Structure 1
């Protein structure tokens, strides 16, 4: 891989980390606003105010904007959530014996 590819991979991981931090930071606020919006007992104008406040939050504070990426390669697809690595990296590390408790299946 070229140096440009390395920088792009690092940037993807940095952006992913920043988004995760922001989502965690605003998680409680978002849940509160959504609870107010969904509450049918509240007056409509109060619910509208809460909806406006929710819309004013940063877009990256939403968990929907997160994508599970491999922490080694930045690859967005084929990622094992528990290990946070792609199937390719997982297979390579497992075959080398670098992952504790992982061994090839045989029966």
Structure 2
């Protein structure tokens, strides 16, 4: 497993683990019926969270090669590996188009 794939996997785990906490902080921050002091405390808590817990930091990468460009979300494969595996018939439900 390459280093980039490993880093991406760790980021995905952190996002999953802290997603609820981030949503709670953001809800309190954006709710203007709550007093300012409480909202400021939640802004500080949100800022103290690890940067890699944010969804934006996750990059789509091919799980086989680590390639970051031209990755199909549904399969998490790059276009190159997707084509190779589809031609070999290893991806169920995918067939080569012919007309």
Give TM class, smaller chain: over 0.9
Displacement after TM superposition at 1:99 (Å): 1.3
Match of 1:49 in 2: 41
Spell out structure 1 runs of 4+ moving beyond 6 A.
none
CA distance in 2, matches of 1:56, 1:100: 44
1:80 and 2:72 matched: yes
Q: Return the alpha-carbon distance in structure 2 between the equivalents of residues 49 and 99 of structure 1.
A: 49
The CA RMSD measured in Å over matched residues stands at 1.0
TM-score by length of 1: 0.88
Structure 1: 5+ residue runs without aligned partners? Answer: 1-8
1:62 matched to 2:54: yes
Per the alignment, residue 13 of structure 1 pairs with 5
Counterpart in the other structure of 1:90: 82
Equivalents in 2 of 1:42, 1:101: separation in Å?
51
Q: TM-score, normalised by structure 2?
A: 0.95
C-alpha displacement of 1:106: 2.3
Match of 2:24 among 29, 32, 36: 32
Structure 2 alignment gaps of length 5 or more? none
